[in-house]
Chain A
Amino acid sequence: MSDTVIRNGRIIDPANGIDTLADLWIDDGKVAGIGQFTGDATHEIDATGQIVCPGLIDMHVHLREPGQEWKEDIESGSHAAIAGGITTFCCMPNTKPRLDHAGVLLQVIQRVREVGLCNIHPIAAVTMNLEGTQLTEMRELSRLGAVAFSDDGLPIWHAGIMRKALEYAASFDYLIIQHAEELQLTEKGCMNEGWVSTQLGVAGMPNEGEDCMIARDIMLTEKTGGRYHVAHISTAGAVDLVRAAQKRGARVSAEAAPHHFAMTEEALLGYNVDAKMSPPLRTEADRQAVIEGLRDGTITIIATDHAPHHEDDKRCGLSCAAFGIVGMETMLPVALELVHQHGLPLADVIAKMTCNPATLLGLDAGTLTIGSNADLCIFDSEQTWGLDKNSLFSKSRNTPWHGQTMTGRVTHTLKNGRTVFAHGVIHD
């Protein structure tokens, strides 16, 4: 007697090269088999016409716990994740206090365990209080569960400190994730610098603000032998830099956020504060370059940069509004645009949200290998639905897709074999 059988779905497991119509069954919270199920099962899910893939991974999420729980906490963030088919995600260290020492890290890990809906892996700070002057105790933070290091929200701006951080991390094979932004170039900017910012009369953030820091970091990465990951890559120049570095054999990787391959700066017209984020939405040429990077494998990961903000932080005019949008509940349908509109293979797109980030971060997740944890996402890739920001499970409402029609919908999310989300309802 098996616990659960998922019948007749199109099972896609990029890690194992599987794309087949079959049943998948689960015993003791593990994937027990893929094929023709002939036994009995306690629970049954009919996945006819649906896709069954590993639970999605989002390696770039800002939870606001501890410190700003009115925007998001570990529980509401977990709800948003499983509603989006995400069973594993990484939380960034720019909480208050920062994830820069063992005490706070352990507090988060303890809370994650209590909530228990998702695997949440902390990314710890590179420098104390994200100030860019003193390294964190990376060895201890890594031992306790940090899977990578980043000052995200802020860049590691000082070239000398970045070099030391890469050297120190390289000594122990840790990954450094950079929010690439040359602050002297982006100072006071609230959107991409270009024709739209000119028309709106607001200060812009030029592509070079991102590109020159990535160029610098790639040089330092190659010098130090470190591992470097570009968060939320958004410019054509940056994609070229990463591609060239990879060709030379540098240990450089990149992630793209759904908004950067789905939208452009035009979304800001009308002073839309829910389209304000950093790095900003760029031009159509940049968007196409990001899609090309996703297509040719330069960009191996899709991650949302889920950044919840309260209305109060957004309703203060474009120039003053907080940077960031929520993204976990829209990751899959927006990513599917790459398949529907740009012709990327579905298995490739799923890989960028499952096994690719798992491999980069060394996570035990992102595959349907027999015996692995039965973390699953079941979705209908064709179903259309209207996004209402007031129906989000996140505590925050800052999405640019409000009122838009999405194609592709998560119907079930399973964590360790248990159905934690089904047809719009959380089961916690």
Chain B
Amino acid sequence: MKLQHLFGIAQLNKEQIHYLINMGDAFIELSKRPIKKAPTLRGKTIINLFFENSTRTRTSFEIAGKRLSADVINISASTSATSKGETLLDTAQTLAAMQPHVLVIRHSLAGTCEFLAEHLRETAIVNAGDGAHEHPTQILTDLLTLKHSIGDVAGKTMTIVGDISHSRVARSHLLAAKILGYHVRVVAPKTLLPSKVENYGCEVFHDFDAAIAGSDILYMLRVQTERLTSNCCFPSIREYHEAYGLNKKRLARANADCVVMHPGPMNRGVEIASDIADGAHSRILNQVEHGVAVRMAVLTAMCDLRFNAHDLPSNPDKRGTL
């Protein structure tokens, strides 16, 4: 089975996930060299097509491509043709006609990547986040961070807190959890939970304090402060902090070696207290660092026509494979 596009975690199997994580792991070292450059993707063209603002994800993809010597072009929606009335499909087809190898797409509408892939036969598409659907490279990033922090995630408990209903990160983790065998608790009031979320096989909590005990990973989602109160999902930011904010007192009730994660950017003092974001349990900056490595792996896999689930490297940690 050839992996032509990366739309989401849903399309991956356990071996493919491990393959990408392990390749990402091998790439970490590259960013620590004095000269952060490898020739892996020389001659490849990558277009980052971002219809939603996201400095960190776009930068992460850009650095990943450039460190592997690809030619990376960034197009953001505000400067693109779409603001002049061109349709999404026209924009994508125009760019595809310039024959990039990979199109990295971020869009606020779920399913954008699948839609474009139907029409762009030659270009590999990587989903950098589509609506409340999937965000596969974030989850691969988190899994690489967890590999370093706690080893095998199978059997561990990840507690995801916040706006589950609008979160692509939560959905992608719920899918990955089933594939890799970790356990997810989602924590939110009913106003922030999608319909039938329990069908993912997760536990549902409304009371954060009740969900903390036994957690190995506390995963705090970003609060979209405007969205939260304007459509009556929550009374106020301060009540959100009181009910679902992570602070020292709450963290003390989790497992002693519990790690704290956040996909960024953080609202300090809202979903997470500063001393925890910067504290010993936090893996938030590791997530950012590993994000670049994992995206190198994803871009490499997309450009590598031999990439195949059965084509696992014999020793993924061997630096020589670079």
Q: Which of A1-9, A157-165, A197-205, A365-373 contacts B (4 or more CB under 8 A)?
A: A157-165
Q: Which of A136, A171, A225 has the most CB of B within 10 A?
A: A171
B234 A168 Cβ-Cβ under 8 A: yes
B190 A139 Cβ-Cβ under 8 A: no
B239: chain A residues within 8 A (beta carbon): 137-140
Q: Is A170 an interface residue (CB 8 A)?
A: yes
Q: For residues 217 through 263 of chain B, which have their beta carbon under 8 Å from a beta carbon of chain A? A: 229, 231-236, 238-239, 242-243
A164: chain B residues within 8 A (beta carbon): 191, 231-233
Q: For residues 104 through 146 of chain A, which have their beta carbon under 8 Å from a beta carbon of chain B? A: 133-140
B238 A137 Cβ-Cβ under 8 A: yes
In the complex, what distance in Å separates the CA atom of A165 from the CA atom of B190? 10
B231: chain A residues within 8 A (beta carbon): 160, 164
Assuming A137-B238, A140-B239, is B189 touching A171 (CB within 8 A)? yes
B232: chain A residues within 8 A (beta carbon): 133-135, 160-161, 164-165, 168
Per-residue interface assignment for chain B, residues 187 to 222, with 1 indicating a CB less than 8 Å from any chain A CB and 0 otherwise: 001110000000000000011000000000000000
A167 B235 Cβ-Cβ under 8 A: no
B234 A135 Cβ-Cβ under 8 A: yes
Looking at the complex, which one of A134, A140, A160, A171 makes contact with B206 (CB distance below 8 Å)? A171
CB distance from B239 to the nearest CB of A (A): 4
B242 A167 Cβ-Cβ under 8 A: no
Assuming A134-B235, A138-B235, is B242 touching A170 (CB within 8 A)? no
CB distance from B37 to the nearest CB of A (A): 51
B235 A172 Cβ-Cβ under 8 A: no
A135: chain B residues within 8 A (beta carbon): 232, 234-235
Looking at the complex, which one of A133, A136, A137, A171 makes contact with B190 (CB distance below 8 Å)? A171
A225: chain B residues within 8 A (beta carbon): 190
B189 A167 Cβ-Cβ under 8 A: yes
Q: Is the interface of A mostly helix, strand, loop or mixed?
A: helix
In the complex, what distance in Å separates the CA atom of A136 from the CA atom of B236? 8
In the complex, what distance in Å separates the CA atom of A140 from the CA atom of B241? 12
B235 A137 Cβ-Cβ under 8 A: yes
Q: Is the interface of B mostly helix, strand, loop or mixed?
A: loop
In the complex, what distance in Å separates the CA atom of A248 from the CA atom of B313? 59
CB distance from B97 to the nearest CB of A (A): 44
B190: chain A residues within 8 A (beta carbon): 167-168, 170-171, 224-225
A170: chain B residues within 8 A (beta carbon): 190
Closest chain B residue, CB of each to CB of A225: B190
A172 B189 Cβ-Cβ under 8 A: yes
In the complex, what distance in Å separates the CA atom of A192 from the CA atom of B190? 37
B235 A136 Cβ-Cβ under 8 A: yes
CB distance from A64 to the nearest CB of B (A): 26
CB distance from A76 to the nearest CB of B (A): 32
In the complex, what distance in Å separates the CA atom of A136 from the CA atom of B190? 16
A137: chain B residues within 8 A (beta carbon): 235-236, 238-239
B233: chain A residues within 8 A (beta carbon): 164
A134 B243 Cβ-Cβ under 8 A: no
CB distance from A223 to the nearest CB of B (A): 9
B238 A168 Cβ-Cβ under 8 A: no
Closest chain A residue, CB of each to CB of B188: A171
In the complex, what distance in Å separates the CA atom of A171 from the CA atom of B234? 12
Closest chain A residue, CB of each to CB of B205: A171
A136: chain B residues within 8 A (beta carbon): 235
A168 B189 Cβ-Cβ under 8 A: yes
A134: chain B residues within 8 A (beta carbon): 229, 232, 235
A172: chain B residues within 8 A (beta carbon): 189, 206-207
B234: chain A residues within 8 A (beta carbon): 135, 168
CB distance from B255 to the nearest CB of A (A): 25
In the complex, what distance in Å separates the CA atom of A203 from the CA atom of B44? 76
A224: chain B residues within 8 A (beta carbon): 190
In the complex, what distance in Å separates the CA atom of A115 from the CA atom of B205? 41
In the complex, what distance in Å separates the CA atom of A394 from the CA atom of B205? 46
Assuming A171-B206, A172-B206, is B242 touching A139 (CB within 8 A)? yes
Closest chain B residue, CB of each to CB of A162: B232
Q: For residues 156 through 185 of chain A, which have their beta carbon under 8 Å from a beta carbon of chain B? A: 160-161, 164-165, 167-168, 170-172
Q: Which of B191, B207, B236, B239 has the most CB of A within 10 A?
A: B191
CB distance from B61 to the nearest CB of A (A): 36
CB distance from B162 to the nearest CB of A (A): 14
B238: chain A residues within 8 A (beta carbon): 137
In the complex, what distance in Å separates the CA atom of A147 from the CA atom of B88? 52
CB distance from B141 to the nearest CB of A (A): 31
CB distance from B226 to the nearest CB of A (A): 13
CB distance from A200 to the nearest CB of B (A): 40
Q: Can you name 7 A-B residue pairings with CB atoms under 8 Å?
A: A135-B232, A135-B234, A136-B235, A140-B239, A140-B242, A167-B191, A172-B189
9 shortest interchain CB distances as A-B pairs: A167-B190, A171-B189, A171-B206, A164-B232, A135-B235, A137-B239, A137-B235, A167-B191, A171-B190
| A164-B191, A171-B206 known, 15 other contacts, Cβ within 8 Å | A135-B234, A135-B235, A136-B235, A137-B236, A137-B239, A139-B235, A139-B242, A140-B242, A160-B231, A160-B232, A164-B233, A165-B232, A167-B189, A168-B191, A172-B207
